[in-house]
């Protein structure tokens, strides 16, 4: 099968740190790791829930010290994304996870941005950068970091809300999102992965987000589902991540088919691919195999991503044209093309 053009909207750049690069950066920075080998580190990648993942995720970030470290991590992701068929990516970074351990905001931002500046010429991938804030930290801390980003005219297109969802409702961050909108930034938030459907409602009503990251628990609230369908709110779903973090028991039990069948604006992404067993191509391949999706359904997932991206109308037309060309190149015919354009 010719590779499906992909739009990656739910990707944490720190979650692309592969064990090999962790060891390389540790050696470069003269750091001792608590693991004797790459294989020993990989053995830690069995998670009971979101928090057990976050503990390792933040621990591994300690190897990121210099602008070059952040640039190398970002370029490694872009190179892998290019092989996965990614045409556009909107990368989330966690500034608080770095400033809290003494890394200046400018260091991490400049390193990531330097790689993204050349992403289209070097890898054929257009890109945008989103500053994601930690919901288990005080909103005052997030506001202080956002003000610093705005003062330095950071090349970000929006803000997000991530980290431990349970017990940390979106409504706590109204002031942060109000400030972001005044600065003309796009707004997204993780909601409805571990947290209840009410968190999705709060993200929509209180934070007034443009997209919901995850959102899979919306199916527990029929009124919410209808609203999401009517408003075509984008849901950036990460199937392999949901399985690895035990949000769903198995991929076969994932609600993606129901979300698609109900007419929700759902697309597929990789979240933290170094930790969850798959970049976006692997996510797409496994959901197609597991659910028996047609070429038209796969194109619809990709087109939903393109329509939900924070890009110019011209770039959106290019992305949709690439997806349509892929679909026309598949062996199956007309009705699936209509699905992709619906």
Catalytic, 220? Answer no
Please state the three-class secondary structure of the chain as a single string: CCCCCEEEEEEEHHHHCCHHHHHHHHHHCCCCCCCCCHHHHHCCCCCCCHHHHHHHHHHHHHHCCCHHHHHHHHHHHHHHHHHCCEEEEEEEECHHHHHCCCCCHHHHHHHHHHHHHCHHHHHCCEEEEEEEEECCCCHHHHHHHHHHHHHCCCCCCEEEEECCCCCCCHHHHHHHHHHHHHCCCEEEEEECCCCCHHHHHHHHHCCCCCEEEECHHHHHCHHHHHHHHHHCCEEEECHHHHHHCCCCCCHHHCCHHHHHHCCCEEEECCECHHHHCCCHHHHHHHHHHHHCCCHHHHHHHHHHHHHHCCCCHHHHHHHHHHHHHHHHCCCCCHHHHHHHHC
Q: Which of 8, 90, 165, 193 is catalytic?
A: 193
Residues assigned a catalytic role: 193
């Amino acid at each position: 099968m010719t590779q499906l053009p992909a739009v990656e909207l739910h990707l944490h750049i720190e979650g692309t740190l592969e064990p090999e690069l962790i060891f390389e950066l540790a050696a470069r920075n003269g750091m001792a790791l608590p693991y004797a080998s790459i294989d020993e580190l990989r053995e830690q990648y069995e998670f009971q829930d979101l928090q057990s993942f976050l503990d390792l995720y933040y621990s591994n970030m300690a190897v990121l010290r210099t602008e070059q470290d952040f640039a190398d991590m970002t370029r490694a992701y872009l190179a892998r994304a290019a092989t996965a068929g990614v045409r556009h990516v909107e990368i989330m970074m966690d500034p608080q996870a770095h400033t809290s351990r003494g890394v200046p905001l400018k260091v991490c931002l400049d390193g990531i941005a330097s790689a993204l500046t050349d992403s289209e010429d070097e890898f054929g991938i257009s890109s945008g950068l989103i500053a994601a804030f930690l919901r288990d930290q005080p909103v005052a801390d997030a506001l202080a970091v956002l003000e610093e980003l705005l003062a330095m005219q950071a090349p970000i297109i929006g803000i997000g809300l991530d980290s431990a969802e349970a017990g940390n409702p979106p409504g706590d961050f109204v002031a942060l999102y109000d400030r972001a909108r005044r600065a003309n930034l796009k707004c997204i938030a993780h909601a409805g992965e571990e947290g209840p459907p009410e968190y999705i409602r709060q993200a929509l009503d209180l934070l007034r987000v443009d997209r919901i990251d995850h959102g899979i628990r919306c199916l527990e609230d029929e009124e919410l589902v209808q609203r999401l369908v009517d408003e075509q709110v984008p849901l950036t779903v990460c199937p392999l991540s949901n399985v690895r973090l035990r949000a769903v028991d198995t991929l076969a039990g994932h609600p993606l088919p129901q979300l698609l069948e109900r007419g929700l604006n759902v697309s597929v992404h990789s979240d933290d691919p170094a930790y969850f067993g798959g970049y976006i191509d692997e996510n797409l391949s496994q959901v197609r195999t597991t659910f028996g999706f047609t070429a038209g359904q796969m194109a619809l997932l990709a087109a939903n991503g393109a329509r939900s991206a924070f890009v110019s109308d011209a770039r959106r037309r290019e992305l949709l044209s690439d997806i349509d060309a892929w679909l026309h190149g598949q062996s199956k015919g007309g009705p699936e093309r209509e699905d992709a354009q619906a």
